[in-house]
Amino acid sequence: MSPREVVWQAAERGVFLLGITDHDTTEGLAEAGEAAAAAGVVLVPGVELSADSESHDIHILGYFVNPRDGGLQAALAELRRGRNRRNQRIMERLRSVGAPVSPERVQEIAGAGTVGRPHIALALLEAGHVGSQGEAFGRYLARGKPAFVARERLSPAEACATIRSSGGLAVLAHPGKIGSWWVIEEVLASGVDGIEVFHSDHSARDAERLLALAQGRSLLVTGGTDSHGPHSERPLAVGDAAVPRSVGEELLSRAPEWWQDSDRRR
């Protein structure tokens, strides 16, 4: 979905506070900001960064990052270059195992966004190599599979520092998916400002435990659907996750001065 379409869907579903947090890019924020102003939705500018902790994939959300910050954009550009190198190696491995996909088609699927494994999975599906995106990951793209290539990633501390350097708040994304409370504790010690407690993949028990953890450490509580669009393996609509309004209000109370004083505030 385009940024404008995401905002429209949010407005139709009664979402009052929307975060746009694409991986490694802020390119969608300008279009989303224009649409949010017209739709009456408050837009939180953001980004999502991937990090490594032992053998676990860690995602750090950056809320209220300043897209005009030169240091942030330089860091994101390097992350995208690393992602592109990885994508090329993945497609080379796919060719070697008899499941080739067109790099041009993968880019077409991604559009203006950052190319990632979900786009390669869709290309595999289109080419008839698999019957679903899930099968693409299960047979080829997941860790330990023939076409898996590890990403060039930041440490959790580096991801948090990158976000904070642009005025943003660093939040540990969907910790319930990590599968290790020891790793969660390790990441919290790296300098995050908050925890994503409410998430479409979190059970009620997950949310309860994570809320207690956040409150015990005086960390910001956030939440979100983590919608990846209608063509993803789990086509959730924006707003499908139940997030208390008080969570959004608390996030807004922590908005930095640059955002409150900018023309991006709606």
What pLDDT digit, counting tens, does each position of 35-63 carry?
999 999 999 999 999 898 766 889 999 99
**Cα–Cα–Cα angle for 76, 81, 87, rounded to 5 degrees:** 125
Q: CA-to-CA distance for 224 and 233, rounded, in angstroms?
A: 17
CA distance 186 to 180: 10
How high is the pLDDT of residue 153?
A: 78
Return the CATH class of domain 79-141.
Answer: mainly alpha
Where do the H-state alpha helices sit in 97-172? 103-110, 117-126, 133-136, 156-165
Residue 121's CB is within 10 A of a number of other CB atoms, namely: 26
Distance CA 253, CA 100 (A): 49
- pLDDT score at 54: 67
DSSP state of 154: B
CA distances from residue 114 to 25, 28, 152, 174, 234 in whole angstroms, order as listed: 7, 11, 15, 20, 19
Cα–Cα distance, 50 to 151 (Å, whole number): 9
Q: pLDDT tens, 7-17?
A: 999 999 999 99
The pTM of the full predicted model, rounded to 2 decimals, is 0.85
- pLDDT for 266 beyond 50: no
> Which tokens hold the place of 130?
């698999």
30 pLDDT more than 70: yes
Query: What is the pLDDT confidence band of residue 263, given thresholds at 50, 70 and 90?
Result: low
Q: What are phi and psi of 81, to 5 degrees?
A: -60, -40
262 pLDDT above the threshold of 90: no
What's the confidence (pLDDT) of residue 70?
95
Collapsed DSSP state (helix, strand, coil) of residue 79:
helix
More confident residue, 169 or 152: 169
What's the pLDDT tens digit per position in 81-139?
998 999 999 999 999 999 999 999 999 998 877 788 999 999 999 999 999 999 999 99
Report the candidate in 207, 250, 234, 241 with the shortest Cα–Cα distance to residue 13: 241
**Cβ–Cβ under 8 Å, residues 146 and 22:** no
